[in-house]
Structures are given as C-alpha cells and as structure tokens.
Amino acid sequence: MSRFTTRPEVTGTFGAATSTHWIASSVGMKMLEADGTAADAAVAMGFVLHLLEPHLNGAGGDLPALVFDPNRGRTEVICGQGPAPAGATIEAYRAQGLEIIPGSGLLATVVPGAFDAWMLLLRDYGRLPLRDVLAPAVHYAEQGVPLLPRAADIIAGLGDFFRRSWPGSAAVWLPGGTPPRGGALFRQPALAATWRRILAEAESRPGREAQIEAARDAFYRGFVAEAIDAFIRTEEPVDAGGHPHRGVLTADDLAGYRAGKEAPLTYDYHGWTLAKTGPWGQGPVLAQALSLLAGDDLAGLDPAGADFIHLVVEAMKLAYADRDAYYGDPAAAAVPLETLLSPGYAAARRGLITASASRDLRPGAVPGFDAQVEAFLAQVETIGVSRTAVYEPTMAHLADRRGDTVHLDVIDRWGMMVSATPSGGWLQSSPVIPDLGFCLNTRAQMFWLTPGLPTSLAPGRRPRTTLTPSIARHADGAALAFGTPGGDQQDQWQLSFFLRHVHHGLNLQEAIDLPLFHTAHFNSSFHPRTRQPGVITVERSVGDGVLAELRARGHEVEVAEPWTVGRLTAARREPDGLLKAAATPRLMQAYAVAR
C-alpha cells in the first residue's frame, strides 16, 4: 500500500482547511486566524472559489453544506438547492420539442440557491461581519487572480461561441476580444461591483444579522433579482445544441426562495455515524452502498486489488440503480428511504452480487412503487446507451466542456466542521448577465420530462442533484469531513476513501492517494443522460494484473493514467482536539492547510 502514498497528511491544533485551490485554503485560514468559525471560513472560501475556478462553480449556482456545531451537539444540512421555476412544466418544455432538458442555456435554470445558503450558514454559525467575509472575494475580483490553465483552455475553446451567441460572456471572459492566458491575472470588475452594491445595501442597516438579511434581500428581492428577471425576459440565447430557448425563471420565483436547514440522513457503520443530505441530493446512495457492503470482510482485501474493486463497483451499481429509480425531492415525492436502508432489503440486494460483473440496471423492488420503477426503466430505454465515455469533466485526460463542481472542508479550534460542495453557474453553462457579472445554473437538466417519476420536472420541485458533502462522527469522539467534485462519481470516490480509512487504517492522505475507480454503468445525471453498461474507469497504477483480473470478471475496463481520477479532500478532528487535513495531488489543484 505504501507504494501509492505521496505525502503525509497535514496536522495542526489551531484550525484546518481543505479546498480545491491554495488561495481559497489560505483565505479560509485567514478567517480562522481572525477568530472566525469554520462557517466564516467556508463562506469566504466559497465566494473566492467563484473567481478561482469559474469553470467549476459560480455565484448563480447551488450549494449543499453539512455543518456540525459542538454547541448544538448535532449535524445539520444547509440546503441551497433552488427549485424549478413556476413556469417549468413538462407541457411547456415538451411544447418546444424537447425530449430531455438541455445541458446549457436559460431553459435549464432553476432558482440559484447558493448565495442564500452561504448567508444562512454565515448568519447562524459564523461570528465575523459580512464585509470581512466578502472582502477577499471583492479584492480578488478587482485585483485579479491567476487564471487556472484549465479554465483558460475552456474559455479559448468557447471563444467563437461566446462572440457569436453569448456576447455578455464574451465581454467577461474575452477581455479585449481575446482569450486570457493560463496563469495570467484575471479580473472580474462587474462581479466585484455586484458584491460591493450588496455590501452597501446591507450596511445601511445596523447589526450583523440585519446586514446579512439585507444582503439576502438584495439578491432575491432586490436589484439582483430584477437584473435576472429583465435578462431572461429579453434574451433568447442558444444552448450548446444551437437552439434558442427563452428561460422561465422570474423575479417572483427568486422572491419566494429561502435556503433552509434540514436534519441529515444518518447511517451507522463500524462505529461511525455518517451524515448526508436527503434524497434531493445523491447523498443517501453512499449509505446504501455501505449497507450492501456491511457483511463483507473488507479489511481482509487489498484496498487496491481486484477483489476490493469488483465488490465495491458491484455494490455501487445496485445502489445507484435505486438512486435513479427512487430518489427525488422528498417534499414533492415519496421516497422509501427507510426500506432502502433496512437490513433486510440490503441482505436481499447483496445476494445479487456475484463473481461476475453485471451489465443489467437493477433497481430493487419496494412495495407500492412498481409503477414508478417501470416508468423509470421505460425512460431509460428511450435514452439508450453510449459508446463514448461519460466521465467527470475535469479529469486530466479529457477535453469535455461540461461544468463541474468544487468542494471544501473546514474545522475550527472549537470543533465546528463544515463540508460543502458548491456547484453550478459555470462559465460554460449559461450566458453572463452583464449587469451582474455572473451566469445562472443549469441544474434543471437533472429532471426528466416524463410524468410519474420522483425526478419529473414540476414547479417548485428541487432537482435530484449529484452534490453530496459528508460528515462522519465516531463513537470515540473523532470526527471527519470529506467530499469531492465529480458529478455522478462523487459518492463513488468517497466510498472508496471512506472504506480504506475505516477498514484498512489508512490515514487521510494514504486513503486519498490510493488508485481510484468508478463506473458509468447507470445513467448520467447530466445531459445527454446516457449510460455505459458494465464500464468501469480505473487508474493504471493498480497494476496490469489487477486490470486483467477485472476484465476476466466481465468488466469493460477503461484505463485512466495515474493521478487523473478524483479530487477528494478531507479534514479530521481527533478526540484530543488534534486536527488533520489532506487533499488529492490529482490535477495539482487541491490543497490542505492547518495551523
């Protein structure tokens, strides 16, 4: 196992932070050193990440976050996943000739929930003033940040499209008419002006909490909402498929939105209590996979061997089939989580795992849900299978232009933990709104345009997202925050990490550094929603023998180069208060820092 380890985890006693960019991690530490909480640090990092990784997240995006507060003694979910607009109906979308929702453009937009969720997290769990927390984002927007080469490549590849079809995006991303160079300072003055105006309106009220509430009003019931409404009413931009579609999001949709708090879904596993979002995210799929593996001797398996990979992949195929057939917004559809996570259900499903790779999509049978499962499988048949790869779009060996996600974990000196996975509002997802300097999300692409499913498009319904942060607490007092970007791969990579940490005693960095793998067996959550039955992607560093054994078991193996799959980060607090953090070296983007 040691042959895969590249560096030790970071340890400290003051505060710990991990993120997907070193500047964001340093901003988080600055907040902690200013006597801020993990929430203050997470919010400051989140706003800076809009600038550092604009191809992976943005101000018009989405946010699920988990926060453990030692003063309250519990973990809570901050839900910043906005719902579908009032005008988003299956009939209206079908009338435009659509069979699936586009992956870009204004028709794929739901209410942007990230800003309100950040403000809710800051208000209820932070202690620093709004200005202090937003100051780094304002500074970097005005003064510039070194643009990631990957972001520069994406902008260059979309340059002609921006000039021709999205002039607002061209104005922001092609300053002077030419694509920016990777590593060069890149400024976003329009976005800085938006944050400055929000701050000015907020500080017209006295008191920290009142100012945060004023910022929420400025975004959802003030000038930001008005600018979004005006833009959508007057623009009809083409999507990536070349078709013009006008959006349906309105100021009224934004005015009625509030991010909320929820109790997490929890699952007990080998002394750990895992906390995840509800089924409006894919979080419960990690708990389902653990339930399928609960009876196996994982500690006796090589954590990078063929037996381990095969077993975990086959469990994930079953868990993800249930995700797609049963998960959805529980406020709008019945989701039988109690059954899906029950020992009896898991035992029956576990019996489907054999020594050979399955190529079938096999959701389980839950009484009363037969018609729903049949409708889901019929929908899958209309989409078909793909002969081309369906991957996380930021993996180094790909040139896909889809957007992705960022992730951050923070622990402060008092033991507060935040695990957050901001996403959406990517520069390639939707045209920039000139008056604001940012674009909107495309999360509605995760709805189906078929009635009768928990993920059928409907006004006010949250899409079933792939965003899935994690917090786990052990019976001995240890606590762990972890997560990753990566679309449908997020809980797959987290599962491998968690199993290796729990069963093999690997420290955070060792568990992150071992070769990663995932499957595209089930339908992608993103346009065009295709699947690759039996396909798994495995880093070559597992060795030729392991790859050959996996093929012998019937897996269709696609080999990725070493250090190209997954972008996990993690932070842990020991029972004695010692803090640890680790981040993947893959893509040379993620960082871990501690004091």
Encode pLDDT of 569-583 as tens digits: 999 999 999 999 999
| Spatial distance between the Cα atoms of 518 and 526, rounded to a whole number of angstroms | 16
Cα 463 from Cα 377, distance rounded (Å)? 19
Per-residue burial over 396-412, b if 16 or more Cβ lie within 10 Å, else e, is eeeeebbbbbbbbbbbb
**What is the predicted pLDDT for the residue at 446?**
96
Q: Tell me: pLDDT of 390 over 60.
A: no
Contact (Cβ atoms closer than 8 angstroms) between residue 64 and residue 465: yes
Distance (Å, whole) CA 376 – CA 451: 10
Report pLDDT digits (tens) over 394-432.
333 333 445 579 999 999 999 999 999 999 999 998 999
What does the pLDDT look like over 97-146, one tens digit per residue? 999 999 999 999 999 999 999 999 999 999 999 999 999 999 999 999 99
Instruction: Output the pLDDT for position 166.
Output: 96
Which of 12-26, 176-190, 493-507 shows the lowest per-residue confidence on average (mean pLDDT)?
A: 12-26
pLDDT at residue number 1: 37
pLDDT for the residue 395: 33
Q: What phi and psi values does residue 451 have, to the nearest 5 degrees? A: -70, 160
**Alpha carbon distance 524, 221 (integer Å):** 34
**Domain assignments of the chain as residue spans, ordered by start:** 263-401+466-594
pLDDT in tens, 230-244: 999 999 999 877 889
Distance of CA 69 to the CA centre of its chain: 22
* pLDDT-based confidence at residue 2 (cuts at 50, 70, 90): very low
CA 228 to chain centre: 24
Q: Which pLDDT score is estimated for 4? A: 52
User: What residue type is assigned to position 591 of the chain?
Assistant: Y
pLDDT reported for residue 401? 44
Closest CA to 438 of 128, 61, 32: 61
Superfamily for domain range 263-401+466-594: Gamma-glutamyltranspeptidase, small (S) subunit (3.60.20.40)
The pLDDT, as a whole number, for residue 382 is 84
Q: Alpha-carbon distance 404 to 58, whole Å?
A: 10
* Per-residue model confidence as pLDDT tens digits over 327-348: 999 999 999 999 999 999 999 9
Lowest-confidence range among 3-7, 138-142, 261-265, 476-480? 3-7
Q: What is the pTM of this model?
A: 0.95
CA angle 24, 29, 34 (to 5 degrees): 125
For residues 5 and 82, what is the distance between their CA atoms, to the nearest angstrom? 40
Mean pLDDT of the chain: 93
- Please tell me the distance from the alpha carbon of residue 569 to that of residue 480, in angstroms, as a whole number: 11
pLDDT tens for each residue of 3-53: 455 568 888 777 888 887 889 999 999 999 999 999 999 999 999 999 999
